[in-house]
Copies of this chain bind each other. A is one copy, B any other.
Amino acid sequence: MKRAINFSAGPAVLPEEVLRQVQEEMLDWRGSGMSVMEMSHRGKEYIAIHEQCVADLRELMAIPANYKVLLLQGGATSQFAMIPRNLLRGKTSVDHVYTGEWSKKAIKEGKIFSKVNVVASSEDKNFTYVPPQSSWKLDENAAYVHICTNETIGGVEFHWTPDTGKVPLVADMSSHFVSRPVDVSKYALIYAGAQKNLGPSGLTVIIVRDDLIGTTIPNTATMFDYKQHAEADSMINTPPCFAIYVSGLVLQWIKRNGGLPAMEKRNIEKANVLYNFLDAQSFYRSPVNKADRSRMNVPFTLPDEKLDEAFLKGAKEHNMVQLKGHRSVGGMRASIYNAMPITGVKTLVEYMGEFARKYG
């Protein structure tokens, strides 16, 4: 058994000690005689797992009591539709900030349900920066303002929180969720697919202020209604139990390791190792505006894309996998989520140096 150094953008590396615990408990969860995969979701064993996961998330993120935490299915893509269905509340338009591929998908889906105003965009510079709020053309009658606080593909991250006044702020935090503290009270709704920092794919976390839910547009399915999910404690039907169980173990791992402030500190250290290296040489290029660089997803390019294959092959020989960049950006991308140890980043930088000396 040899573990790879795994830079996947998601599903992504998980803490090894969590995987060992999952392995240990696979046939018999704590004397129950059952795998978590085999438990009735209405039974006391699974209910305890489910409630602990929610409680730990509330504690780690200091989620105020007037916010509901929902553990749903369908990924961020389902949220792109659920959010307008629930948060339009009779309004006729929404504001979106356009900072990359995931913003784009939210905008496209949003147009199915209402007018979408793109109030700011970084398209002019190929989505390599976050437009400053001074340039945003917000509409005070918008139902909400939607942002993607970390663009997984472009590697652009919000390092500040917009102030949208009385207009609810909605954030897709999928790819930097639980990587740092967040002041939840500044958001109306936060959502995240689990498969980056939290756990396996198939689980989506929604944190929503409770006064905003309860009204849906006509023809909304039960499974697209936040209020009904909230009233059923995310158990309108069988939840993705195993993904919730693993995510709960990851949350406990975060707690044991100092919580979100400690995660942020580690993530800054790791990102610095990689960005400091990139800034001190000229072989590789980091396309993103320095102030808006993501601590989670670090795209970089080689001087000639003909070198990409050799770079990836050499990385594999050094036990490093999933470094290929997204096709829309090209080059490489190193995703360095919570569970990536600093040694992994150092190994990458060392290899990048070697490769540059050989091909530079």
Contact = CB atoms under 8 A, between A and B. Distances in A.
Interface of A: 1-4, 6, 8-14, 16, 19-20, 22-23, 26-28, 31-35, 37-41, 43, 46, 73-78, 80-82, 109, 112-113, 193, 195, 199-203, 217, 219-224, 236-243, 246, 319, 321-322
21 contacts: A3-B27, A4-B34, A8-B40, A14-B35, A14-B37, A33-B321, A73-B75, A73-B240, A74-B78, A78-B221, A112-B220, A112-B222, A195-B238, A200-B242, A201-B239, A201-B241, A202-B238, A202-B239, A221-B224, A242-B242, A243-B243
A78 to B, nearest CB: 5
A223 B34 contact: no
B33 A319 contact: yes
A193 B242 contact: no
A202 B11 contact: no
B243 A202 contact: yes
B33 A6 contact: yes
B112 A219 contact: yes
B75 A238 contact: yes
A11 B246 CA distance: 16
Contacts of A75: 73, 223, 237-238
How many copies of this chain does the complex contain? 2
A193 B239 CA distance: 11
* Top 8 A-B residue pairs of the complex, sorted by shortest distance between their CB atoms: A4-B33, A202-B240, A81-B221, A73-B73, A23-B26, A77-B237, A37-B200, A201-B238
Contacts of A80: 221-222
Contacts of A16: 27
A19 B35 contact: yes
A217 B239 CA distance: 27
A32 B8 CA distance: 13
Contact of A74 (B38, B40, B73, B109): B73
Contacts of A236: 77
Give the most central of A9, A76, A202, A236: most B CB within 10 Å: A202
A224 B20 CA distance: 36
A193 B237 CA distance: 10
Contact of A202 (B34, B202, B222, B223): B202
A74 to B, nearest CB: 5
Nearest to A335: B40
Contacts of A43: 8, 322
A113 B219 contact: yes
A81 B78 CA distance: 14
B221 A109 contact: yes
